[in-house]
Amino acid sequence: MTERALRLLRQDPRLAELAAFPFAFDLSRTDHVEEVRLASGGPLEAIAGDDSGGTYFVCADGSVLYADSEGSAGVIGDSVDEALEILVGLPGWQDYVRLSPDDDEARILAEIADTEGDFREDCVPDLDAHRAELRAALGFPERSPVQLVARLHAALLRTEPDHLLLNAVEHLAYRRLDPHPRPPLWEQVLTRGRTDLALLRTGDRATWDAVAGSRPRRVAALRAAQYDRRNTDRALLRHLLKHEASASMSDELRLAVVLVGLYGLAEDLPLLRDVHETDYDTWCGLGGLPEEAEQVRAWARSFDDSNYGVDPDDEPESTWLELARGLGLIETARAYLIRELDDTESDATQLTFLGNELGLIGDYTQAIRAQRLYVALQDTEHGRAAARSRLAELERKAVDGAAAES
């Protein structure tokens, strides 16, 4: 559905002219400087542009994504109306993308006053009158610049993972419009586990069964418990351990055994022994599990110290990528992997890892890009032949995948 403000601009030439100048939202400029696409594969509709070659796109969820002509992009509003409200309220908004609600209000107002002073002096002496006219015609409230900066900041942080923009030919990601830090991959993934761990701690048995019965949720909750340990968690950890044992040997099963074993209680020994003896894999994977409670505690401490730390940054990225896939956070994984690939050119090991992970989420376009970079690094005929064989396999999978979607 076309939003009200955009519909009014398209119907009224006077309003469209005002939006184009001085507010840099020109309905006649819808040709971007290059072909682009979303990494997620969602639709993009170019609705306007500015005089610097930048383009405003509407995404499937209504968000407005701005892409400049220099290879940077970011969401600037969760709707066309919100984006236009920001553009009208903050002409020169691109100068403010580094600002955040944490900045001092006086600093924000001073920067805006400085930029708008230049506007008035150089080319738009009637800036305030133009803004008032367009705001009134589009039905926008008169929000403070500080409020609008906060909205812009929040929108920019929503860009990834769902609105990551790519060059459609080279498949490289556009840079972020702003310099604000983003949470690491582990934090994005672990949020789900922390939520479930909090639910488990309420003691509701239906929640226990729902979380424990879903392996991705169970694993995420165990990882959350690894980094947020409480003496009151023993019962829920036992419950998760019993269910994880049904999946046979896994790193998370070992983690659950360790977390329960750290209590060093004799009453837990039968469960730990049963898990240890589930099958040959668990027998080997939990090798050395002692017979006595105090010895189990020492064994668990040793295993904990050598394998399970208290800092998620110490976990290999493969742990979080596997968990992201299990939880269905495909776009989170994709955005992370593409950013990593863009920064990797001559590390053959990393290229192999990234290519494999991209293949696992079904992004064969990016997996092929990683493999082509890997092929270029091979310095022996045997290495090149093996790398090209893998490349051909990925290309076949890409064709098969495209055929299945059509």
What kind and span of H or E run contains 372? helix 364-377
Instruction: Give the pLDDT of residue 22.
Output: 94
Residue 275 contacts residue 253 (beta carbons within 8 Å): yes
Q: Is the pLDDT of residue 331 over 50?
A: yes
Q: Which residues are bridge partners to 175 per DSSP?
A: 72
Count of positions (residues) in the chain: 406
CA distance 204 to 198: 11
Residue-wise pLDDT for 209-250, tens only, equals 999 999 999 999 999 999 999 999 999 999 999 999 987 799
Helix (H, G, I), strand (E, B) or coil at 101: coil
CA pair distance 352, 373, nearest whole angstrom = 10
Q: Delimit the domains of the chain by residue range.
A: 4-176, 185-314, 330-405
| Per-residue model confidence as pLDDT tens digits over 42-93 | 999 999 999 999 999 999 999 999 999 999 999 999 999 999 999 999 999 9
Tell me what pLDDT residue 300 has.
94
Mean pLDDT of the chain: 95
pTM: 0.94
What's the mean pLDDT in 253-266?
Answer: 96
Q: How far, in whole angstroms, is CA 159 from its chain's centroid?
A: 9
For the cut 80, the answer to whether the pLDDT of residue 405 exceeds it is no
The reported pLDDT for the residue numbered 219 is: 96
Percent of the residues in the chain that have a pLDDT greater than 90, as a whole number: 91
Token pair, residue 399, equals 């064709």
Structure tokens belonging to residue 229: 């340990």
pLDDT on residue 310: 86
Residue range 330-405 forms a domain whose CATH class is mainly alpha
Question: What tokens were used for 212?
Answer: 């424990």
Beta strands in 78-229 (DSSP E): 165-167, 175-176
pLDDT band, residue 2 (cuts 50/70/90) = low
Does position 1 have pLDDT exceeding 70, yes or no? no
The token duo for 206 is 């239906």
Lowest mean pLDDT among 92-96, 180-184, 286-290, 390-394: 286-290
| DSSP secondary structure code for residue 174 in this structure | P
pLDDT band at 103 (very low <50, low <70, confident <90, very high): very high
